[in-house]
Structure 1
Amino acid sequence: MIRSRGHALDRRCPLHGDSLPEDVSAYAGVVVFGGPMSANDDHLEGIRAELGLIERAMTAEVPTLGICLGAQMMARVMGARVARPPSEHVEIGYYTVTGTEEGHRLGLFDGPMGVYQWHKEGFDLPAGTRLLARGDMFPNQAFAAGPQAYGIQFHPEVTHEMMERWMRLASDMLTWPGATDASAHRAGRLRHDAALGRWLGRFLDHWMV
């Protein structure tokens, strides 16, 4: 979807040893994706590298998007807490998020929307940011920081193949408190995927100006 909007991709995986650019000013945007790690895993060089990249991008006011772990790392860079909820419940499957007044004002969120989730930690809302969408189990689902930096807890980028791979490789997590089973994942995809794809297109058009 980013390529279709005229941009080339520079894909790097610091947790697999890829270096990250020191100067991001020439980039049209920076997207930081998810992963099974924690934003608090300071012992991982790749996490430290991504935290530094986020700080550089946001300082340079390069459009920045954090997805799931990426959003949690954005929140941490801005001084917010990232942790599991006291109940130790997770969101693994499809859950409903609802736009706030600010999310409506920006045209990014309408009414309740079913989104795909796979996370055990959440984030406090960083100081100075605007909450765009909220959920029941994890209240902070999307935020805006400045004009072009966004963090979203959910996964609009996940394809059917990715979902099946995640369920296969981490099948034990489908039984954790709050998670839904594989049949609910597949049913949720049939119900929500088309609308979530339209939402992602609208979001990218807003973000990549």
Structure 2
Amino acid sequence: MHAVILEHIEYEGSGYCEQWLQLHTAEISRVQLYNEHYILPGLAHVDLLIICGGPMSIHDEHEHPWLSAEKAYIRQAIDSGCAILGLCLGAQLIASQCGAEIRRNHQAEIGWFELTGLSPDADTYRFPDTFTVMEWHYDTFDLPAGAKRLASSPSYENQAFQIGRRIIGLQFHPEMTSAEIQYFIRDFSWELKAEPGIQSADVIERGITAYAGAANKLLADLLVYLSE
């Protein structure tokens, strides 16, 4: 298996995705888009494209000119038929390339949140009926044309979607390991404001033991599905 990982900023990679790929002896091409010397690999022999998260908006081409090239690459990947997994910003990028609007939500979502898994039909991936995952985002998006909703929450209707058999976008972060979550709590504590949808550092840290391992296992099951 040859997997390409698109990274948008140095401190936010694919987390547990890369651990899973290494365990399955995959060939991994990590593309650091924030590095001016990045090279986007040809898609002819790519089996899986993983699009990571990041703090920027998909509309920030003026600050991050590589977004334009990335969007075109994602569109090519969609058309090529390779499997694609989008994580948070990655899901928004997929949605935008399928014609969906990406916009600021009425409130943030930072911390551990319970989602409802949906089962549109037998041809889509099935999440558990309820599951708890790490969220760290402000934007939301409409369901892309031709997509099926896989998971939802009261504040963010489109938590996960699937297009065809091999494209899945996740608004949440099952890839974050315990160490990565602790890093975010420490280095981005200024985002943990006393506002609706934002949990305190203590609440998030207590949730690591309860939820992080299960979220990584959920991601592993999803990667198996995309790799079949």
TM-score w.r.t. the length of structure 1 is 0.93
Q: Identify which range, 46-55 or 108-117, moves more after superposition.
A: 46-55
- The question of whether the paired residues in 2 share the 8 Å contact of 1:102 and 1:130 is answered with yes
Q: CA deviation at 1:105?
A: 6.3
Question: Unaligned stretches of 5+ in structure 1?
Answer: none
Distance 1:36 1:104, change over 3 A: farther
Aligned pairs for 1:92-131 within 5 A: 92-102=110-120, 106-131=124-149
The sequence identity of aligned pairs, in percent, is 30
Matched, 1:27 2:59: no
Aligned pairs for 1:1-209 within 5 A: 1-21=20-40, 23-43=42-62, 44-85=64-105, 87=106, 89-102=107-120, 106-175=124-193, 176-209=195-228
Q: Identify which range, 188-197 or 96-105, moves more after superposition.
A: 96-105
Q: Identify which range, 143-152 or 8-17, moves more after superposition.
A: 8-17
Q: Distance in 2 between matches of 1:179 and 1:103?
A: 33
- Whose strand proportion is higher, 1 or 2? 2
Q: Identify which range, 99-108 or 66-75, moves more after superposition.
A: 99-108
TM-score w.r.t. the length of structure 2 is 0.85
Q: CA deviation at 1:18?
A: 4.1
Q: Identify which range, 112-121 or 197-206, moves more after superposition.
A: 197-206
- Whose helix proportion is higher, 1 or 2? 1
Q: Distance in 2 between matches of 1:194 and 1:14?
A: 29
Q: Distance in 1 between matches of 2:109 and 2:168?
A: 20
- The question of whether the paired residues in 1 share the 8 Å contact of 2:119 and 2:126 is answered with no
Q: Distance in 2 between matches of 1:91 and 1:104?
A: 30
- The question of whether the paired residues in 2 share the 8 Å contact of 1:12 and 1:18 is answered with no
- The question of whether the paired residues in 2 share the 8 Å contact of 1:103 and 1:109 is answered with no
- The question of whether the paired residues in 1 share the 8 Å contact of 2:192 and 2:200 is answered with yes
Q: Distance in 2 between matches of 1:182 and 1:33?
A: 23
Q: Distance in 2 between matches of 1:68 and 1:59?
A: 21
Distance 1:139 1:22, change over 3 A: same
Q: Distance in 1 between matches of 2:49 and 2:172?
A: 17
Moved segments of 4+, more than 3 Å: 103-107
Name the Cα RMSD after superposition. Answer: 1.6
- The question of whether the paired residues in 1 share the 8 Å contact of 2:175 and 2:215 is answered with no
Q: Distance in 2 between matches of 1:7 and 1:168?
A: 32
Q: Distance in 1 between matches of 2:95 and 2:158?
A: 11
Distance 1:107 1:35, change over 3 A: closer
- The question of whether the paired residues in 2 share the 8 Å contact of 1:20 and 1:49 is answered with no
